[in-house]
């Protein structure tokens, strides 16, 4: 899975919980939760979506590593189960 | 014969539009059955009937007209009664009503088990304005819901197709509401409804306010360990700990759980906690989670998922908006540390939780940093006093120190 594909999946997930937002136009360094006004419930739903799409279950202890979109991409890229080429 | 009236769905509601029936004359209904959808400033609410019986006649046709609370919508006869002939001396419109004609734009009432069309309130309004038959519109929203764009597309297609014949609508006999016409801007309407409720609350209820800081270190540590044992789909949010602890504390101080009636307090056995949920388009809605004291934390989390999904999807039931025996508002996610709220009548208390903040904490002469939440209580001074309020907050703290017992 390429970085661009991961980014698209993140945008789709964010769009689902914040339909009025345009995640693609966000500065990738910003605190996503604050910028899009995402509460703890929405954030959990977003993570459940990521688990469904990418097979990565993110523990609570790692929430601090998912502040910006770039953070999320890096975190997920390192953990997506490798498939045979 | 029982008159089924437009119910009151909250302190801030004065009228609603009946937008869809789910019953027809001859249907048998049980207590708790959903019989119609009504549209309020807070969106579409499913309303229930509370007596069993057989539907005798539907007196109001679905429309966008706001009907005041108390408007008789239908007649339901008890099972032992014999069906009455509607006297000819009543308004002529009644004669046309017993078998509901199908006004353009409304799906015919469905039998149990059939999928109902989900339509957003805005789409419904535009469909009525453009004369679009909703049963012919394909929905592209979540779960096949019909949204504005779908209706507009159907209207375009309809212009090219032969005209749908509009059946003549019987003269609307329901009394015109004395309230202001519905705002075309839903957000403005919701804000007005909230303003009405808040002003009334502040005017009528003598509030007292208390707050306390609670060390959440044990509770959050316990929660994290519990969550490691669960898949992400079953993960528990801190909110469920707070709700359960409130329910427990109400068991210790029951003077805060119930309703103020005219001149006295009516305590309630059941603990139905109205939970404030923010809507993304703005505005607040507070559906109740029932019997919080009897639910396990997992069951509470499931109830939370369910009520939030239905709130945001516009599928709440009338009983959920009126059953709350107390309200809890949690603004912690917004970065607010303390919440001092306004009580929703006829409730007598409101509990607020702010953000969990890493704070200095002194215990046993030792200084440390702990995650601290500020819990606040707004109390109705007619039903309780500061001492009981303080006892409640104290009990709340005790319960949160023993999260494993929640």
Mean pLDDT over each residue of chain A, to the nearest integer: 90
* Banded pLDDT at A39 (limits 50, 70, 90): confident
**Chain B residues within an 8 Å CB radius of A39:** 278, 333-334
pLDDT, average across residues A28-49: 92
CB B18, CB B67: distance < 8 Å: yes
Residue appearing with tokens 């360094």: A29
Q: Which chain B residue shows the shortest CA-CA distance from A59? A: B228
Give dist(CA B168, CA B92) in Å, integer.
Answer: 14
> Which of A14, A32, A34, A39 is the best residue to mutate to test the B interface, defined by the most B CB atoms within 10 Å of its own CB?
A39
Residue A23 contacts residue A11 (beta carbons within 8 Å): yes
Per-residue pLDDT tens over the stretch B82-128: 655 544 444 443 333 333 333 333 334 444 334 455 676 677 767 77
Q: Could you tell me the pLDDT band of residue A64, with boundaries at 50, 70 and 90?
A: very high
Q: What is the pLDDT of residue B94?
A: 39
Q: H helices of B229-329, where?
A: 238-252, 297-312, 318-322
What is the C-alpha radius of gyration for chain A, rounded to an integer number of angstroms? Answer: 12
φ, ψ (nearest 5 deg) of residue B277: -120, 125
A28 interfaces chain B, CB cutoff of 8 Å: no
Residue of A nearest to B280 (CA): A18
| Cis upstream peptide for B346 (omega within 30°) | yes
Cβ B206 vs Cβ B382: under 8 Å: yes
Mean pLDDT of all residues in B74-86: 71
Please write the tens of the pLDDT for every residue from B192-245.
777 777 777 778 899 999 999 999 999 999 999 999 999 999 999 999 999 999
Q: What is the CA B3 to chain-centroid distance, rounded?
A: 23
pLDDT at residue B32 above 50? yes
CB contact under 8 A, A41 and B231: no
Q: B315 versus A57: which is more confidently predicted?
A: A57
Contact B278 A40 (CB under 8 A): no
Q: ipTM of this predicted complex? A: 0.91
**What pLDDT, on the 0 to 100 scale, is given for residue B100?**
37
Which residues in chain B have their CB less than 8 angstroms from residue A18's CB? 280
Residue B170 has pLDDT above 50, yes or no: no
Interhelix angle B238-252/B386-401, rounded to 10 degrees, is 130
Cross-chain Cβ contact B239/A57 below 8 Å: no
Residue B188 pLDDT: 73
Task: Name the band, by pLDDT with cuts 50, 70 and 90, for residue B164.
Answer: very low
- Long-range CB pairs of B180-183 (<8 Å, 24+ gap) are B181/B66, B182/B17, B182/B41, B182/B64, B182/B66, B183/B41
Helix (H, G, I), strand (E, B), or coil: what is residue B77? Answer: strand
- Whether B253 shows a pLDDT value over 80: the answer reads yes
User: Residue A44 is nearest to which of B228, B231, B235, comparing CB atoms?
Assistant: B235
A16 → chain B, closest CA residue: B142
User: In 3D, which of B358, B395, B362, B370 has the Cα closest to residue B217?
Assistant: B370
CA angle B97-B98-B99, nearest 5°? 90
The pLDDT, as a whole number, for residue B150 is 79
Return the SS3 of B203. helix
Q: Which residues contact B280 (CB under 8 A, 6 or more apart)?
A: A18, A19, A20, B312
Give the pLDDT confidence score for residue B293 in this predicted structure: 97
Is A39 at the interface with chain B, CB within 8 A?
yes
A19 interaction partners in chain B (CB closer than 8 Å): 280
Contact with chain B for residue A31, Cβ under 8 A: no
- For an interface test with B, which of A20, A40, A45, A51 has the most B Cβ atoms less than 10 Å from its Cβ? A40
Range of lowest pLDDT (B148-162, B179-193, B268-282, B348-362): B179-193
- Of the pLDDT bands very low, low, confident and very high (cuts 50, 70, 90), residue B2 is confident
**Does A36 reach chain B within 8 Å, measured CB to CB?**
no
Cα–Cα distance for residue pair B257/B332, rounded to 1 Å: 23
- Closest residue of chain A to B335, computed from CA coordinates: A34
What is the mean predicted confidence (pLDDT) over B300-321?
Answer: 89
A57 touches chain B (CB under 8 A): yes
Highest mean pLDDT among A37-41, B114-118, B291-295, B336-340: B291-295
Mean pLDDT within A21-47? 91
Task: Give the pLDDT mean for B43-65.
Answer: 89
Average pLDDT of the segment spanning A48-75:
94
**The predicted structure's pLDDT at residue B322:** 87
Two tokens, residue B79: 């099972």
Per-residue pLDDT, averaged over B162-183, amounts to 42
Task: Return the pLDDT at B84.
Answer: 52
The average pLDDT across B258-283 equals 89
Question: What single-letter DSSP state applies at residue B43?
Answer: E
Question: In chain B, which residues have their Cβ closer than 8 Å to the Cβ of A61?
Answer: 224
pLDDT at position B314: 77
Q: What is the pLDDT of residue B40?
A: 85
Q: Kindly determine whether residue B224 and residue A60, on different chains, have CB atoms separated by under 8 Å.
A: yes
Comparing CB atoms, the residue among B224, B233, B308 nearest residue A41 is: B308
Per-residue model confidence as pLDDT tens digits over B332-386: 666 677 777 789 889 999 999 998 999 999 999 999 999 999 999 999 999 999 9
Least trusted range by pLDDT, from A4-8, B105-109, B147-151, B378-382: B105-109
Q: Who has greater pLDDT, B112 or B132?
A: B132
More confident residue, B216 or B15: B216
**Bridge partners (DSSP) listed for residue B328:** B275, B351
Residue A1 sits at the chain B interface (C-beta within 8 Å):
no
Please tell me the predicted confidence (pLDDT) of residue B111.
Answer: 40
- pLDDT attached to residue B81: 66
pLDDT of residue B272 exceeding 90, the answer is: yes
> DSSP string covering B114-149, please?
SPPPPB-HHHHHHHHHHT--GGGPPP-SGGG-B-HH
Indicate yes or no: CB of B232 within 8 angstroms of CB of A57. Answer: yes
Place of tokens 């989390």: B301
CA pair distance B16, A82, nearest whole angstrom: 55
Question: Would the CB atoms of B233 and A40 count as touching at under 8 Å?
Answer: no
């Amino acid at each position: 899975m390429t970085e661009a594909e991961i980014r698209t999946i993140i945008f789709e997930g964010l769009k689902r919980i914040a339909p009025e937002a345009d995640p693609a136009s966000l500065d990738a360094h910003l605190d996503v939760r604050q910028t899009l006004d995402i509460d703890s419930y929405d954030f959990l739903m977003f993570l459940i979506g990521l688990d469904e799409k990418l097979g990565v279950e993110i523990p609570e202890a790692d929430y601090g590593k998912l502040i910006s979109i770039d953070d999320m991409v890096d975190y997920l890229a390192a953990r997506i189960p490798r498939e045979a080429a | 014969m029982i008159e089924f009236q437009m119910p009151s769905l909250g302190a801030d509601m004065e009228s609603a539009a009946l937008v869809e029936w789910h019953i027809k004359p001859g249907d048998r209904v049980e207590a708790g059955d959903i019989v119609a959808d009504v549209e309020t400033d807070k969106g579409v609410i499913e309303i229930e009937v509370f007596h069993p019986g057989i539907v005798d006649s539907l007196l109001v046709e679905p429309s966008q007209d706001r009907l005041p609370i108390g408007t008789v919508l239908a007649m339901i006869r008890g099972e032992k009664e014999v069906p009455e002939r509607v006297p000819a001396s009543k308004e002529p419109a009644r004669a046309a009503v017993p078998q509901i004609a199908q006004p353009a734009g409304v799906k015919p009432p469905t039998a149990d088990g059939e999928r109902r069309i989900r339509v957003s309130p805005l789409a419904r309004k535009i469909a009525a304005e453009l004369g679009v038959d909703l049963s012919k519109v394909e929905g592209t929203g979540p779960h096949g819901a019909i949204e504005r764009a779908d209706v507009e597309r159907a209207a375009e297609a309809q212009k090219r197709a032969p005209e749908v014949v509009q059946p003549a609508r019987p003269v609307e006999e329901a009394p015109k509401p004395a309230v202001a016409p519905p705002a075309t801007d839903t957000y403005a309407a919701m804000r007005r409804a909230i303003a009405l409720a808040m002003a009334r609350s502040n005017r009528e209820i003598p509030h007292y306010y208390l707050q306390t800081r609670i060390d959440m270190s044990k509770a959050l540590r316990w929660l994290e360990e519990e969550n490691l044992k669960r898949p992400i789909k079953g993960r528990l949010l801190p909110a469920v700990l707070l709700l359960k602890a409130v329910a427990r504390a109400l068991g210790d101080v029951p003077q805060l759980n119930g309703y103020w009636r005219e001149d006295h307090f009516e305590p309630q056995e059941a603990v139905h906690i109205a939970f404030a949920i923010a809507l993304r388009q703005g505005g607040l809605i507070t559906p109740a989670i029932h019997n919080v004291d009897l639910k396990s934390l997992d069951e509470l989390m499931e109830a939370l998922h369910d009520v939030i999904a239905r709130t945001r999807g516009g599928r709440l039931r009338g009983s959920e908006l009126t059953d709350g025996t107390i309200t809890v508002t949690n603004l912690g996610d917004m970065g607010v540390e303390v919440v001092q709220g306004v009580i929703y009548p006829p409730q007598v208390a409101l509990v607020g939780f702010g953000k969990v903040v890493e704070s200095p904490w002194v215990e046993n002469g030792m200084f440390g940093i702990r995650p601290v939440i500020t819990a606040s209580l707004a109390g109705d001074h007619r039903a309780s006093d500061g001492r009981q309020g303080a006892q409640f907050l104290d009990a709340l703290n005790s319960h949160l120190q023993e999260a494993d017992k929640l």
